[in-house]
Amino acid sequence: MNDLLIELFTEDVPARLHKQATINAQKVFSNLLVKSSAEFQNVKAYISPRRLAIHVTGLSEQTRSITEVKRGPRIDANEKALNGFLSSNSKSISDLVEKEGYYYLSIENKGCNITEIIPNLIEDLIINMPWPKSMHWYLEKEKKLSAFWIRPIRSVMCIYNGNPLEFYIESIGLTTGNRTYGHRFLGNKELVIQNFEDYVKQLEDNKVMHDFGTKRAYIENELAQQVASMGLIVKSDDALLDEVTGLVEYPFIHIGHIEEQFMSLPVEILSTSMKVHQKYFTLTYPDSNIAPFFATVTNVPCTGTMAQGFERVLKARLSDAMFFYKEDTDVTLEAYSNRLSNVVFHEKLGSVAQKVDRLMSIANSTEEHRVIALCKADLVSQMVGEFPELQGIMGTIYARVQGESDVICEAICEHYKPLGATDNLPKTYVGSRISFFDKLDTLVGFLGVGIKPTGSKDPFALRRAAVSIIRLICDSTHNILEDSLEWYIDTLISAYADQGIVLVQSVKKDVITFLKDRLVVYVSDSENIDSNLCWQVVENSNSDEYDFKIIKSKIIKINELSKKPEFEIVRQAYKRACGIVGDFQPVTTNKEYVYENEYMKILQSKLSKLSSNDSEIDFNNCVDVSHAILNACENVLMNDDNLDVKNSNMALLQRCITTIENQYGKL
């Protein structure tokens, strides 16, 4: 089996980017191979702080020959256009084929040896690899700037079938070879690599774990074992585990001690201070109470001096945190709330205090008003100024200190949830409502002043806010819409106007459209439903139907039913009935019409059995109605010359259409 090993040896890649970088590198390089007509079995990417490696297995020695059919000008086109087409493809008029009024050319792209395209593959990888931020550096030899990459590339290794490939990469000014380097401190010697197996072994011998997933699992296991011997448990934190995995080439575990004077701090403050500044793991007892210890992952074995340094730096951080906490608790949340007029929400949307006032306009209970009055107060506290991650959490802690009820305290923290499609929903009714108010106000405001996401850029997280609103409406155990969605939007628009903030006239339509767009994306992803079907149901819902819970349930129901062969009968009957009724507006009365025609009698009888509470029974009855519709349409002159008969026929068909739409939407 032929294989290819590529390594880009760089300056340290930021740890938070490692996990996604392997996914992106695999995707980009696989696409490049496919585009080059190369056949292969698998592409796998590996990353550590100073290297990104790609291993391709089952790589063909030759790329495939491909015949491409190109359409040229029309047959009646002028001679100049025809000659230009032939010249650009190095073909003659005898190579042309006439088909459906156009000239066509069959162009054969012959395959080549895989080694001929590998240099271009690496160049294209460097150009096409997505990074959140990239840089270029000065190439002394070439007297120019390099291509963009996350960090400067210092060497490139390329080995095909056990043989090194040497070629010059112009964009970064380097010549490839078969050499790499071990651990920066524990094995930083030049390594000569033979193949992938040799690469893995030599790196391991020189204290480098090349695979992110393997290293992550090793750290997680070692942490668990070491703290278990002390009768402790590591507090789960996947984001921190990902980050420390990206920080080290080879992991070593150290357990440190927290001074007793700091153990009176709330656990959230202790954990956040250790995580954000020091990348330390929080340890707890089996009863979940925090223990006076921490765990850290180092790139070299921990010495006594290092251990003392870890604890000394942590002491300084926690001393600051204790000071901030004491200062904050000497002030009431109400006092902090009075300072929110000095905090800008957005330059076009006023202050946070104005946002609070707008939320007050749509609240309708004493508890909701109290939560809204306090929920943003901690933004001006010293602790949140130091640790923005604690907004909401500190508000809850300070609310408990000043004796607020459990409902108020929980809702203050919960009003930030959910943070997108996967975060937990608020558990309390009040928290769910305030979260909905807060996110809808954000959406109305930003869309109202013309600030919308563009492409992949969404600096104000409006898509996330929209998905959170949809989840609060569709997935919460609480029914948070005490009024219509339109009412909440209209009330917020009026609240903005009362504050002198002018929004565009189309803001309500823009908000609804934006939410529907996110509804399609969310339901499609979360329920694994084709997005075209989701769009069909959303677009065919009544224009005034903004209850996304109903729309989501319709999407799921139609998706389940569409997999049944009988559903096509329902679709055909619906379309047939719609085609016959057309623009005709039948006159309806409360009196049940008595039909003489046997087919219409059957249809009327079948229709009366619909609308039970059992969706399966309803579907079976709907299939029966659909058969009856098709039979009636085939055997009855619906557009009868007698206007009374025509009206009664059309009225019954319209009832069928309406009933099917109520059940499954417009088909």
Which of 205, 229, 261 is where one domain is finished? Answer: 205
β-partners of residue 139 are 144
Same domain assignment for residues 165 and 41: yes
Which of 309, 329, 349 is where one domain is finished? Answer: 329
pLDDT in tens, 121-163: 999 999 999 999 999 999 988 889 999 999 999 999 999 999 9
Helices (H), 229-303: 238-247, 267-273
Residue 527 makes CB contacts below 8 A (sequence gap 6+) with 555, 556, 559
220 in any annotated domain: yes
Same domain assignment for residues 160 and 138: yes
Same domain assignment for residues 151 and 104: no
What are the φ and ψ backbone dihedral angles of 49, each rounded to 5 degrees?
-55, -35
In the predicted model, what is the mean pLDDT of the chain? 90
Does residue 191 carry a pLDDT above 60? yes
Same domain assignment for residues 431 and 507: yes
Q: Is the peptide bond before 418 cis (omega within 30 degrees of 0)?
A: yes
* pLDDT at residue 546, as a whole number: 67
600 in any annotated domain: yes
Does residue 32 carry a pLDDT above 70? yes
424 in any annotated domain: yes
* pLDDT at residue 591, as a whole number: 67
Least confident of 5-9, 91-95, 408-412: 91-95
Same domain assignment for residues 411 and 318: no
Q: What's the whole-model pTM score?
A: 0.76
Mean pLDDT over residues 387-416, rounded?
94
Same domain assignment for residues 570 and 522: no
Residue labelled with tokens 């009431």? 332
Mean pLDDT over residues 390-417, rounded?
94
pLDDT in tens, 586-628: 777 666 777 888 888 888 888 887 754 445 557 788 888 889 8
Q: How confident is the model at residue 536 (pLDDT cuts 50, 70, 90)?
A: confident
Same domain assignment for residues 386 and 471: yes
Same domain assignment for residues 430 and 535: yes
Residue labelled with tokens 């951080």? 317
97 in any annotated domain: yes
**Cβ proximity of 411 and 375 under 8 Å:** yes
Same domain assignment for residues 16 and 123: yes
* pLDDT at residue 254, as a whole number: 97
653 in any annotated domain: yes
* pLDDT at residue 456, as a whole number: 77
Same domain assignment for residues 258 and 343: no
As a whole number of Å, the CA-based R_g of the chain is 33
Mean pLDDT over residues 304-329, rounded?
95
Does residue 331 carry a pLDDT above 90? yes
Q: How far apart are CA 236 and CA 627, in angstroms?
A: 57
Does residue 664 carry a pLDDT above 90? no
Which of 297, 329, 361 is where one domain is finished? Answer: 329
559 in any annotated domain: no
Tell me the two tokens of residue 312: 């000394």
* pLDDT at residue 447, as a whole number: 96
Tally of CA atoms within 13 A in the half-sphere of 545 that contains its CB:
16
Does residue 514 carry a pLDDT above 70? yes
515 in any annotated domain: yes
558 in any annotated domain: no
Mean pLDDT over residues 520-532, rounded?
89
Domain count, the chain: 5
Owning domain of residue 315: 212-329
Q: Which has the closest alpha carbon to 133: 150, 147, 153?
A: 150
Same domain assignment for residues 262 and 153: no
Q: How far apart are CA 658 and CA 12, in angstroms?
A: 63
Residue 457 makes CB contacts below 8 A (sequence gap 6+) with none
Q: How far apart are CA 265 and CA 401, in angstroms?
A: 13
* pLDDT at residue 74, as a whole number: 83
Same domain assignment for residues 318 and 244: yes
Q: Which has the closest alpha carbon to 6: 188, 195, 206, 216?
A: 195
